[in-house]
Amino acid sequence: MDDAFIADPTDTLSVLDGPGAATHVDFGIPAAVLAELTHRCPLQCPYCSNPVELERSSAELTTEEWKKVMSELAEIGVLQFHFSGGEPTVRKDLTELVRHASSVGLYTNLITSAVLLDEARLRELSDAGLDHVQISFQGADAAVANRIAGFRDAHAKKLQVARWVRAAGLPLTVNAVMHRQNLDQLPEIIDMAVELGAARVEVANVQYYGWALKNRAALMPTIEQLDECERVVTEARKRLKGAMEIDFVLPDYYADRPKKCMGGWGRQFFNISPAGKVLPCHAAESITGLEFDSVRGNKSIAWIWQNSDAFQKYRGTGWMPEPCKSCELREVDWGGCRCQAFALTGDAGNTDPACSLSPLHDRIFKLAEKESIGDNRDFIYRNYAASTKRV
């Protein structure tokens, strides 16, 4: 017998091409899909990744529609299903959806703010086959965290629910979105995650589009804060090796190279919006002029992934302008983030200004640097009143 070996194909993990794939398939179906069940949420975090144009509940897919989607995804080779939002627990049918996902063989992950969960509902979800829970935290100190969330007592509730998650035997990930107004709490947030028994913590610096772009002046960290943040993460990773994983995302304003956003447009990720649109990333609807196919139409999800205009538009390198086109790194970062290019330059087909080779990089970097040392602390909270959705 050979030694037992378990490969961790980290970089190729989302695209596992195989003999089962149809002919002329260039891109394997992603291994994991994010479902935004709803845009409704009791929290009002000013950096929310949802689009500024929030979807109303009347537009949401029905229970039966989501079930059909999950069956179809499992059939074409999706392995993991993330229940996200908005706040997915506002959906009264969540347990039924989790049960269905589990019955068709999907690994289920609940990405939640936790404030609407009680112990009975958590047990119900666990019994329905939920595999993993991820809870967002806005800070380590209740006053700071509650102010950021725009929700009274959110922090205490989250701590309580995290303990119930562990008591139910479910694995826990702590998600901490970091910015100027909470970065000084990072060591305490990591301690909190350890104390809660989390197996993973995501230290995710805010990415600035959508709501976060509206609030950039109040959120942008200083360079000194980010240096300290990196130091804290490096130290904690060393100390907690083997006990807790720490994922770390830098804000790309302070990076020299743009991030490989979504692993490259249409390469290894899609999400489904509350109304059933199949999107190359959560923020893609912010790019005006792109049409997105819906699961409500007459096309299969596999067809939409392979062929739809929105996925084809920025896939690969053919769409690239200079300096991307002749750049040696074009197949490393795939041109960075299309949504950010659109938000900051007005054209999603431009080089992401996060790249130091972008002609706009210096101007944007200097503006961000100026904002980071400003004294603006006020948020435009994420809610339907501030949403620009035309109804």
Which residue ranges make up the site for another protein (CB under 8 A)?
A: 1-10, 13-14, 16-21, 28-29, 31-32, 76-77, 79-80, 105, 107, 109, 131-132, 134, 140, 169-171, 173, 188, 191-192, 194-195, 199-200, 239-244
Q: Among residues 240 and 364, whose Cβ is nearest to another protein?
A: 240
Q: Among residues 4 and 385, whose Cβ is nearest to another protein?
A: 4
Q: CA 124, 129, 131 angle in degrees (round to 5)?
A: 110
CB of 81 to another protein, least distance (A): 11
CB of 65 closer than 8 Å to CB of 97: no
CB of 121 to another protein, least distance (A): 19
CB of 23 to another protein, least distance (A): 14
**In the 3-class helix/strand/coil scheme, how is 172-228 assigned residue by residue?**
EEEEEEECCCCHHHHHHHHHHHHHHCCCEEEEEECCCCCHHHHCHHHHCCCHHHHHH
CB of 361 to another protein, least distance (A): 31
Q: Among residues 51 and 139, whose Cβ is nearest to another protein?
A: 139
User: Residues near 58 by Cβ (< 8 Å), separated by ≥ 6?
Assistant: none
Q: Among residues 105 and 321, whose Cβ is nearest to another protein?
A: 105
CB of 230 to another protein, least distance (A): 19
CB of 189 closer than 8 Å to CB of 139: yes
Sign of torsion, CA 123 73 277 249? positive
Q: Among residues 143 and 385, whose Cβ is nearest to another protein?
A: 143
Q: Among residues 16 and 360, whose Cβ is nearest to another protein?
A: 16
Tell me which residue of 328, 389, 390 sits closest to 51, measured CA to CA: 389
Q: Among residues 59 and 249, whose Cβ is nearest to another protein?
A: 249
Q: Which two tokens stand for residue 230?
A: 């990196």
CB of 309 to another protein, least distance (A): 25
CB of 368 closer than 8 Å to CB of 274: no
CB of 306 to another protein, least distance (A): 14
d(CA 22, CA 26): 10
Residue 121: strand pairing partners: none
Pairing of strands 107-112, 278-279: unpaired
